[in-house]
Chain A
C-alpha cells in the first residue's frame, strides 16, 4: 500500500536524516523485519515525497566516508507525518473493532 510506505518512510526519518539504505534498514528495524523495502519501491517513494515538499535531500558523507544522498523531514513533512499517523490510527481502530464485531 502506497500510503503505508509513505507513512513508514516519514516515520523512519522522524529521528534524523538518513540516506536511502538507512531508510530501508530503519524501516526493517522498526517493523521487526516485517517490511523490507526494495529499491524499486523506495526510491520512487523518496522522490515523490521530496517533490511534495515533505522531504529535503542533500549530499553528505556516510560513516565509512562514502558520498550519499541524505533525506530529512521538512516542517511540512512533520505535519504530514502527524496527519497520516492519526489517519492510520483511525483506520486501524475501525478495522480492529469491525473484526471484533463480526467474530
Chain B
C-alpha cells in the first residue's frame, strides 16, 4: 500500500502540478487565517493578530518551497525541467548544436564501426559448440612450422588421452563437378569422419560421416554445403542419396551442412579423407593436413601440449628418418583464427579513440565559448537561489543530451559505414561474414556517448565553478575570462598532440606500404594474364592432355597482342609444391633435415613470360624433350644454400621419391618471392623442371591444375575472353577459373595491409580536420576577446604585420607545445605497432619530421584566418566596443 501511495503521489505531483500547488497555497492561507483568529481570541486587535500570524509562519514562499522539496518525484521533475531547458537551448543555437552533434557523431560513429568489427572478430565466440574447448594442432620441424603429416595425426588421435576428438582436414581441394548441367569447378575439403562432430555441428539434412565412410575401400560419400544445395540443386529435398560425379568419380550425397557453417577456407563439398589414404600413406613426404581437436572436460592446453609432445618424442624414436626434430604446437582455435589480425584491430581502435578524444576537445571548446556568453545567465540563476549542484546538473544534462544525439547519429553513420566497409574488406580478415551490430555494440555506443558527454561537459562545469557572481553581474558580457583561455589553450595542445600521434601512426603504415610496393618480387608482374585450368582427365589420358596443352599454347600465341605463352604447375602468389630432394654426390643430411625447395614445373617460355632473369647457365629450350637428358633450373637461394662456394652448373639432384629421375642443373635464375612481399620466402630455395619433360601423369594426382600465363602487349584482361574461347573451342570439359593479372595477384597479397593503411589514414585525416577546426575556434575566440587590445595597438601605430605576428605567435606557441607532447607520445605508442611495420622502424625520423611539418602548415592556416580578421579591426569601432 505505501508503495502504491507513493507511486500515486509521484504521478499526481508530476501530472497535476498546478492543482497540487494551488491546494498548498490555499492550505497555507487557511492556516494563517486560523492563526489570526487564534491571536484575535487571545486579545490582539485583528490587524496586529494578522501580522503576528505572518511573522510566525515566516515566509509563505519558503514554506511552500520546503513542502515542494519533500514531495515525491522531485528529482524526476528537476530532470524533466533540465531536459526541457537543454533542448530549448540547443534548438535556439542551431549552428552550435549542428556542429557539436556532427563532430561527436563522426567520433562516436568511427568508434562504433571499429568496435563492431572488433566485437565480431575478437569478442564474439566462434560459431561452434563450446568453442573455447577447440584447439589447433600444428607440427614444427626444428622449430619451423610445417603441415601436419596424416600418419602422425593418426598416431596422435589414437594415443592421446586429453582430447575428446581429434579431427583432420585438408582444405582447398578442388573437384570438377560434371554430369547433369554445366561442368563446374568446386572448392572442397577432405575431412576425417569426426570433422563436423568435433565442432559440434550437425547436418541440416541427411547424416554425418561415420567411421566406416572414412576408409580406403568405403563407398564414396560426400556432404555438400547449403550454398551448393541452393545454387546448383535448387534446394531439392531429394538430393540426399543422389550421385555426384566429382573428378570422374561417383559420390553419394549423404548430408547438407547448416547455412552459416564455415571453417577455414570455403568449401562446397566435404569428402572423407580416408578415401584417398593412399596419398597420405608416407609419413614424411606427404601433403600436409590441418589438425584440430576438442579438449576433454578439465584438460588444458598445457596438458595437451605436454602429452602430445611426449607422443611426438616417442614417434621420433620409432621413425627417426621422418620424425627427427618434429614437435607439436597447440594453440586455441580462437588464437589461430584471430591472433594475426588482433594488433591491427587494436591499433585501429586506439586510432578512433584518439579521434573521439579530439572530437570531445572540440565540443568542449565550443561549450566553453558558449558558456562564456552564458556567465550572466548562470549568475542570475545563482542569485535566484539555484545551488551549485543544480547548475552543474543543468550543464551535464546539456552535454549528455548533446552526446546522446551525437551517439544516435554516430550509430547510423557506423551502420552505414560498416556496410560500406564490409564490401571492401579483403579476404585476409577472418569472420567478416558475421559482421553486424548487436546488443554489445549498442551498449558500447551508449556507454561511449555517456562518457563523452561527461568528458566534454567537465570543462564548462569546472569553469562555471570559478565564476565570481558580483563581478559577472557588474561587468558586461564581453569580459574575457582567464580560466576560459587557459582551458582553450589546454584543449589546443592536447588536440595537436593527439593528432600528431595519429598522423605518425598513419605515416608509418603508409611508408611501410610504400616500401612494400618497392620490393622487387623477382618477376615482372606487368602485362601478364594468368588463369587456371583444371585438367579433367583420367591418369591414363596423359598424351591427350599433352596434346591439348600444346595445341592451346600454339593457338593462344597466335592471338593478336600476345607476346609469349607459358604453362606452369606452381606460380608465385598462387601456390607450388614443396617437395624434399636428394643432392647427388653429397653426404646424406642428418635425419629431419632433408633439403627441400619450392617446385615449379614450367614450359620453356615461362621465364620470358614472367620476366624472370637468368643469372648464369642457360634456360629450358624446346630442344629439351622427354627423350633428351633431364634438366633442371635452380634459383640463387638454392645455389647459395646447397652449393655454397661451388659452381652448381652440371651438378645433379632429384626428388626424394623412389622412382624419381636424376636431373642436371643447367642454369641459375633470379629468386622469386613466392607468397609475400614481406620476405617470408626470401630464403626459400626454388627450382624448376621442364613441363615438357615432366610426365603429366606424375603431376599431383588428385588436383591436376595448371596455370596458363600470357604476356601481352595490350591490357592483359582484354585477352581473357579470347583465351577462354580458345580453351572452350579445344575442349569444353576443361574448367577455367581464377582469371586475373599478375599485378592483381600481387595487390591481393597486400590487400589486408592496404586496407588497414587506408583506414588509419582516413582516421588521421579526420583527426587533422577536427584539430584544425579546433585550433581555428580557439584562436578566433581569443581574437574576438582581444578586439579592443588590437584596436588600441593599431591606434598607437601597430602595423598589419605586427598584429598578424601577435595573433599567430600565440597560436603557434600552443601548436609547438602540442607537437612536442605529441612526438613524445608517438615515440611511446608507435612501438606497440611495430609488428605492423615493414621496412621502417617505429622511430623513423623522416616520418616524424614530415608529419610534424605537415601539421604545422595546417595549424598555420588555421591560425591565419582569425589573425587576418584581427588586422581588419577598425580602431575606432574597437574602442567604442565597450
Contact = CB atoms under 8 A, between A and B. Distances in A.
Contacts of B72: 51
Interface string A46-71: 01101111100000001010111100
Contacts of A16: none
A51 to B, nearest CB: 4
B623 to A, nearest CB: 108
A20 to B, nearest CB: 5
A87 interface: no
Contact of A64 (B24, B31, B37): B37
Contacts of B490: none
A45 B66 CA distance: 10
B31 A20 contact: yes
B180 interface: no
A38 B58 contact: yes
A68 B5 contact: no
Contact of B70 (A20, A44, A62, A66): A44
Interface string A71-103: 000001000000000000000000000000000
Contact of B71 (A38, A47, A54): A47
A39 B28 CA distance: 9
B6 A52 contact: yes
Given A19-B34, A76-B1, A44 B6 contact: no
B612 interface: no
Contacts of A52: 2, 5-6
A44 B69 contact: yes
B130 interface: no
Contacts of A21: 31, 34-35, 38
A48 B71 CA distance: 7
A43 B6 contact: no
Given A21-B31, A40-B66, A66-B33, A53 B6 contact: yes
B40 to A, nearest CB: 10
B63 A40 contact: yes
B10 to A, nearest CB: 8
Interface string B33-76: 11101100000000000000000111100110011011110000
Given A21-B38, A51-B71, A66 B2 contact: no
Nearest to A50: B9
Given A40-B63, A43-B66, A47-B70, A53 B30 contact: no
B58 A40 contact: yes
Contacts, number: 73
Contacts of A20: 27, 31, 34
B67 A44 contact: yes
B86 to A, nearest CB: 28
B58 A39 contact: yes
Nearest to B40: A64
B67 A51 contact: no
Contacts of B37: 64, 66
Nearest to B30: A68
Interface in B7-33: 9, 23-24, 26-28, 30-31, 33
Nearest to A47: B67
Interface centre among B67, B71, B72 (most CB of A within 10 A): B67
A19 B33 CA distance: 12
B30 A69 contact: yes
Contact of A39 (B2, B26, B57, B69): B57
B35 A44 contact: no
B734 to A, nearest CB: 88
A53 B57 CA distance: 26
Contact of A48 (B1, B31, B34, B70): B70
Contact of B66 (A44, A50, A51, A64): A44
B255 to A, nearest CB: 67
A39 B30 contact: no
A69 B28 CA distance: 9
Nearest to A56: B5
Nearest to B33: A66
A20 B38 CA distance: 13
A51 B20 CA distance: 12
A22 B33 CA distance: 13
B21 to A, nearest CB: 12
A77 to B, nearest CB: 10
Interface string B63-99: 1001101111000000000000000000000000000
A81 to B, nearest CB: 14
A36 to B, nearest CB: 10
Contacts of B33: 66
A44 B5 CA distance: 17
Interface in B236-273: none
Nearest to B64: A43
Interface of A: 19-21, 38-40, 43-44, 47-48, 50-54, 62, 64, 66-69, 76
Interface of B: 1-2, 4-6, 9, 23-24, 26-28, 30-31, 33-35, 37-38, 56-59, 62-63, 66-67, 69-72
Given A53-B2, A62-B34, 9 more contacts: A19-B31, A20-B27, A40-B59, A43-B24, A44-B70, A47-B24, A48-B70, A52-B5, A68-B30
12 contacts: A20-B27, A39-B58, A39-B63, A43-B27, A43-B63, A43-B66, A44-B70, A47-B67, A51-B71, A53-B4, A62-B34, A66-B37
Q: Which 5 A-B pairs rank lowest in CB-CB distance, beginning with the nearest?
A: A53-B5, A51-B9, A21-B34, A44-B70, A48-B70
